[in-house]
Amino acid sequence: MNKIRLFFIAVTTAAIMASCSDNEPNYDSTNREALNRKEFVSGKDFQDLKENFSRLHLNDKRNLWNNKIEQLLSLDLPTQHIILVKELKEEFAKNVEGMENNVQSTVIKLAQITPEKDFTKMFFELGDYEFSGKFETVGDNQLLISYLKSCDFKYNQAVKGGVASKEAPLPACNCNYTCTAQTINPGLCSNGKCAPTADGCGPFGMSECDGRLYFC
């Protein structure tokens, strides 16, 4: 009788542990269903988003940004923007498949006709972009365009266990030029005080992070 009771307890405990494990988020899984973009960004601050994004599997990174592009297409943007965003969606699909693509040139065309503050919210941030009905006059985006010309536009595989291990002497970087464009004070992204990440910053999170925002 005692053996039967012990067996029952062991089976029940194993079932409970399995159930708990299934409920825990696993951003490294290659077999999970597609992440919900709004759920992924919900409740996360700037630093959490950067570090969690860098831990994602390649497919999840791509799917999140593909969904963001679809959100942009659902807006009543100017005709030229709609044309270019549709083109971007097609080129992004080629990029995902590792085919020759024009993501970079299409993004640069969009940067030439979009105010920088709107551009960063559209293509550097995963959250929904809210269009006010019209864009303000486009300023001098040459620094932004110069940066875009230097981007590789590709994702890197997640680092097992996270961006930086517990043994790393420096915290993981979470910003670069494109990320500071999203902040109140661009001077807050400090270089040389963090461990660079392979991606997580810039357009579609495809660029490396080489600085850190310490106010996060």
With beta carbons less than 8 A apart as the criterion, state whether 69 and 124 touch.
Answer: no
pLDDT number for residue 157 = 64
pLDDT number for residue 178 = 59
- Low-confidence spans in the chain with pLDDT less than 70: 1-33, 157-168, 177-188, 192, 214-216
pLDDT number for residue 84 = 97
**Residues near 171 by beta carbon (within 8 Å), at least 6 away in sequence:** 164, 193, 194, 195, 212
pLDDT number for residue 41 = 93
Give the C-alpha separation, 203 to 119, whole Å. 9
Q: Where are the domains of the chain?
A: 45-127+135-213
Pick the closest to residue 216 from 164, 160, 173, 165 (CA basis): 173
pLDDT number for residue 12 = 45
How many Cβ atoms from other residues are within 10 Å of residue 124's Cβ? 17
With beta carbons less than 8 A apart as the criterion, state whether 89 and 69 touch.
Answer: yes
